[in-house]
Amino acid sequence: MTTTPTFMDRHHFLLRRLHSLTGIVPIGMFLIAHLTTNSTIVWGAINTRAADPLRAADGVVQVGQAGERLARQVGTFQHEVAYINDMPFLVLIEITLWLSIAFHAVFGVMYARSGRSNTRRYAYQGNWRYTAQRWTGYIGLLFIIYHIGTLRWGWTFLQPNNEPWSHAHASSTLAAALRGHEGAWSIGGVFVAILYFTGVTSLIYHFANGVWTAAITWGLTVSEKAQKRWGYVCAGLGFALMGAGWSALAGFLALDYDAARSIEAALHGTPQESIMVQQDATETPHTPTMHITQANTPLTTEGGDN
């Protein structure tokens, strides 16, 4: 050979396998954790312990059935957010994740550009999966940049509601960012919601299909039968994650901003924001009464782990 091999060529195998691995281990695992966490804004309703910190001390607010459910949902999600924020070595975890995403994205774009999609001529299902894997990678990348940029780096100029997301008010500020407005939807919010739906759906497809191809790449599934069987497992994983992702999105889009805000305030003991939430007051005699305390009850010290 006359030409000296490039860096990419010299470490070809390692880079390819690292690309596959990063897609699954830090990034994919994070995706699962992230989507399930977010879906607690809906499924938190079945978490009976979520309202405990609210019930724990003397409260000023009495809440009916719907209020109790909302408190469980917002309470669980807020608890999850606080839990993640208090994780030991969080910085290390974040750096690993950042590096992995950057690596996977940069090489992913290069790998995607190394092929020429030909679904027009060869319209096989597998070929569509291949092409979609590349498109969802690109869409996912744009979405991730928007998602992190607005909610994490404070690019509020890209948010129709202009209000930064805050840890303390994780549920309400997220709902406002998605709808583009605290209350009703704004026009911009419709686009943000569509972007989130597309981005989340793309990344879940990309991950589920990636787990399927990774099994071939590493040589786990060799026979056609095994590949098919593993395909069903990956489809199952994909649909489960779609369920989590979509319900999270729907949950935040439907969230009552003011009510969520007051529950968050109560959770953090910010009295001036603790306004009355009296959703179905007529039922109060029969339903459990919940007291929201004004004292500072840090969520993370709460015993009930989810």
Partner 1 sequence: MSNTTTSIAQAGTRTVRFRIKRADGHKKNVRWEEYDVPVTSGSEGSGSANVISCLQHIAANPVTRHGERTTPITYDVGCLEEVCGSCTMLINGHVRQACSCLIDTCAPRDGDVITLEPMTKFPVIRDLWVDRARLFETLKRTSAWVPIDGTYHLGAGPMETPDEQQVRYKLSECMSCGCCLEACPQYLIEEDVENWDSAFVGAAVISQARYFNMHETGASTKKLRLDALSEAGGVSDCGNAQNCVKACPKEIPLTESIAAMGRAVTVHKIKQFFSGQ
- Applying CB under 6 A, which residues contact ligand HEM? 20, 23-24, 27-28, 31, 104-105, 108-109, 111-112, 133-134, 137-138, 140-141, 144, 203, 206-207, 210-211, 213-214, 217
What is the C-alpha to C-alpha distance for residues 169 and 151, in angstroms, rounded to an integer?
12
- As measured in angstroms, the least distance from the Cβ of 18 to partner 1 is 11
The string over 161-184, giving b where at least 16 C-beta atoms fall within 10 Å of a residue's C-beta and e elsewhere, is beebbeeebbbbbbbbbbbbbeee
Q: Does 167 bind partner 1 (CB under 8 A)?
A: no
Q: Which two tokens stand for residue 33?
A: 């954790």
What is the C-alpha to C-alpha distance for residues 266 and 116, in angstroms, rounded to an integer?
56
Interacting stretch for partner 1, rule CB under 8 A, among 70-78, 116-124, 141-149, 245-253? 116-124
> Which residue, 56 or 237, has its beta carbon nearer to ligand HEM?
237
Helix, strand and coil in the chain, % to nearest 5: 70, 0, 30
User: Of residues 221, 274, 293, 297, which one binds partner 1 by CB under 8 A?
Assistant: 221
Q: Does 138 bind partner 1 (CB under 8 A)?
A: no
User: Of residues 83, 107, 111, 138, which one binds partner 1 by CB under 8 A?
Assistant: 111
Binding flags for partner 1, 3-42, as an x/- string (CB under 8 A): x-x--xx--xx--xx-------------------------
> Which residue, 215 or 259, has its beta carbon nearer to ligand HEM?
215
Q: Does 229 bind partner 1 (CB under 8 A)?
A: no
What is the C-alpha to C-alpha distance for residues 65 and 304, in angstroms, rounded to an integer?
22
Closest to 67 measured CA to CA, from 269, 281, 243, 218 = 281
> Which residue, 10 or 167, has its beta carbon nearer to partner 1?
10
Q: How many CB atoms lie within 10 A of CB 78?
A: 28
- As measured in angstroms, the least distance from the Cβ of 228 to ligand HEM is 17
Interacting stretch for partner 1, rule CB under 8 A, among 89-97, 129-137, 172-180, 249-257? 129-137
- As measured in angstroms, the least distance from the Cβ of 239 to ligand HEM is 15
What is the C-alpha to C-alpha distance for residues 206 and 135, in angstroms, rounded to an integer?
9
Length of the chain: 306
Interacting stretch for partner 1, rule CB under 8 A, among 25-33, 121-129, 182-190, 258-266? 121-129
> Which residue, 117 or 156, has its beta carbon nearer to partner 1?
117
Residue 144 in 3-state DSSP?
helix
Q: How many CB atoms lie within 10 A of CB 64?
A: 21
What is the C-alpha to C-alpha distance for residues 151 and 64, in angstroms, rounded to an integer?
32
224 binds, among ligand HEM, partner 1, none (CB under 5 to 8 A by kind): partner 1
Q: Does 153 bind partner 1 (CB under 8 A)?
A: no
* First-residue to last-residue Cα distance in the chain: 59
* Contact assessment for residue 215 and residue 21, using Cβ atoms and an 8 Å cutoff: no
The burial of 295, by beta-carbon neighbours within 10 Å (0-12 exposed, 13-18 middle, 19 or more buried), is given as exposed
- 177, 181, 187, 189 alpha-carbon torsion, rounded to 10°: 20
- As measured in angstroms, the least distance from the Cβ of 210 to partner 1 is 10
What are the residues binding partner 1 (CB under 8 A)? Answer: 1-3, 5, 8-9, 12-13, 16-17, 111, 114-118, 121-122, 124, 126-127, 129-131, 133, 213, 216-224, 227
